[in-house]
Amino acid sequence: MKKLLVGSIVMAFCSWQAAAQTYVLTDAENSVEKGNWQITSEGLKLKDANFSIEQKVLHGGKQEGSKVITITSKGLTIALSPTRGMDLLHVVGNNVRLGWDSPVKEVVNPQFINLESRNGVGWLEGFNEMMVRCGYEWTGHPVSSEGMLYTLHGRAGNTPASKVEIHVSEKAPYEITVRGLLEEKSFKKVNFETWTELRYIPGSDAFTIHDTLTNLADYAHDYQIIYHSNIGTPILEQGARFIAPYKEVTPFNEYAKKGMKEWQNYAGPTKDFDEMVFNIKPLADSQGKSLAAVINRAGDKGASIEFDTHQLPLLTMWKNTDTLKQGYVTGIEPGTNYAYPVTIEREQGRVKQLQPGQSTVFSLTYTLLGDAQAVQKTEQRIKQIQGDIKPVISETPIAKE
């Protein structure tokens, strides 16, 4: 073992891997924090492998103390932040980028964010991720109900991980798993733990998010989640398309109604466009799997997200094709819910519940489509799931905010 490998190295025989080395970067229970840290496949003497995993503590402005973990490989480079709910910052590789250019540049430490500010949209002051977990206590637009302010998109994305572990499989292809524990705990109110996982096989063009939410309380508790996954240039451009197999689509509000005819087609950066949101009921294959993708104009770049409709039955498409400086971006957002305030979601019967001790899993696979062939394969799969089913395109929003 090289000296590089300081810290807790455990030979773990985990249920999901025959054998793996485990590196504990953060552990609140034992008061562990590695800070700046790195391993490389070379240092680990892994044959025919070529990757590194690094944790870096950031400095300056509102990102003081924020941490970023970056996996670098011949395939993808994946960056996520333990300080911000294990959210994905950006993914690059295979000629493609997942991510976007938000006006917010720093990886903002939640210590500097008041989620209640601006009437419940303080969340926007840290929003620049490629994927944010919007949950798990609630999700969606903010609303005041019985004096309580349900802030935009919940709190998981602004929760620093209580435990962070990295597993590297000892056998080729050396699957890497980054695990993070998010605690949403408040005496009397909530006792949620979410073990987040990012699973990546170095060199491949896809990765999986595999999260397990558990209600540790002795009482049932509502939960909601939207996996807010955001894509900008170079995939998003004038003429880019959104594709997904679906039963029905409805506009989120009166403004989105105006965009129904062209809802699957993207404009270039457009002043005063602001945002349109579309609520989708996805179709799935016989296993319950569905997927959605954004494809560039030429059809040779794209990104797809596969998700399980048993876990995440609904899909939101967020079309934010405003100017580049405002944050030109689209969101593919599989979820248990639409983005309406929790009060509306509850009224309309979409809020789910976990029984005492019950766990539930959310699994999503993101694929970076780097050439025309990969794009076509994805299009075919979507067509196959759609089959002969003619989707309903409704013009009437199902709710009024």
Q: Compare residues 92 and 217 and give the one whose CB is closer to a copy of itself.
A: 217
Q: Compare residues 111 and 348 and give the one whose CB is closer to a copy of itself.
A: 111
Backbone angles phi, psi at 42, to 5 degrees: -65, -50
Which residue carries 């932040």 as its tokens?
81
For residue 107, what are the CA distances in angstroms to 67, 93, 97, 262? 8, 21, 18, 34
Least Cβ distance, residue 90 to a copy of itself (angstroms)? 15
Q: Which stretch binds a copy of itself (CB under 8 A): 46-54, 73-81, 161-169, 393-401?
A: 161-169
Give the separation between CA 226 and CA 92, rounded to whole angstroms. Answer: 23
248 lines the binding site for a copy of itself (CB under 8 A): no
375 lines the binding site for a copy of itself (CB under 8 A): no
Q: Compare residues 92 and 124 and give the one whose CB is closer to a copy of itself.
A: 124
148 lines the binding site for a copy of itself (CB under 8 A): yes
Per-residue tokens: 378: 């994805």
273 lines the binding site for a copy of itself (CB under 8 A): no
355 lines the binding site for a copy of itself (CB under 8 A): no
Q: Which of 6, 19, 149, 389 binds a copy of itself (CB under 8 A)?
A: 149
Give the separation between CA 366 and CA 293, rounded to whole angstroms. Answer: 9
Least Cβ distance, residue 83 to a copy of itself (angstroms)? 9
Q: Which stretch binds a copy of itself (CB under 8 A): 104-112, 170-178, 244-252, 386-394?
A: 104-112
Q: Compare residues 139 and 326 and give the one whose CB is closer to a copy of itself.
A: 326
Q: Compare residues 62 and 319 and give the one whose CB is closer to a copy of itself.
A: 62
101 lines the binding site for a copy of itself (CB under 8 A): no
179 lines the binding site for a copy of itself (CB under 8 A): no
- Cβ-contact 224, 246 below 8 angstroms: no
111 lines the binding site for a copy of itself (CB under 8 A): yes
Q: Which stretch binds a copy of itself (CB under 8 A): 1-9, 73-81, 123-131, 253-261?
A: 123-131
326 lines the binding site for a copy of itself (CB under 8 A): yes
Give the separation between CA 363 and CA 333, rounded to whole angstroms. Answer: 13
- Cβ-contact 60, 50 below 8 angstroms: no
Least Cβ distance, residue 191 to a copy of itself (angstroms)? 4
Sequence-ordered list of residues with C-beta below 8 angstroms from that of 147, at least 6 positions apart, any chain: none
Least Cβ distance, residue 182 to a copy of itself (angstroms)? 9
For residue 301, what are the CA distances in angstroms to 78, 127, 365? 18, 25, 17
* Sites for a copy of itself among residues 22-81 (CB under 8 A): 26-29, 31-33, 56, 58-65
85 lines the binding site for a copy of itself (CB under 8 A): no
* Sites for a copy of itself among residues 180-239 (CB under 8 A): 181, 183, 185-189, 191, 216-219
Q: Using CB under 8 A, count the residues that bind a copy of itself.
A: 64
125 lines the binding site for a copy of itself (CB under 8 A): yes
Instruction: Name 144's bridge partners.
Output: 149
Q: Which stretch binds a copy of itself (CB under 8 A): 71-79, 107-115, 259-267, 334-342?
A: 107-115
267 lines the binding site for a copy of itself (CB under 8 A): no
- Cβ-contact 385, 378 below 8 angstroms: no
323 lines the binding site for a copy of itself (CB under 8 A): yes
For residue 54, what are the CA distances in angstroms to 42, 44, 144, 208? 14, 14, 41, 19
Residues at the site binding a copy of itself, with contacts judged by CB under 8 A: 26-29, 31-33, 56, 58-65, 102-106, 110-112, 114-119, 121, 124-125, 127-128, 144, 146-149, 159-163, 181, 183, 185-189, 191, 216-219, 271, 322-323, 325-327, 356
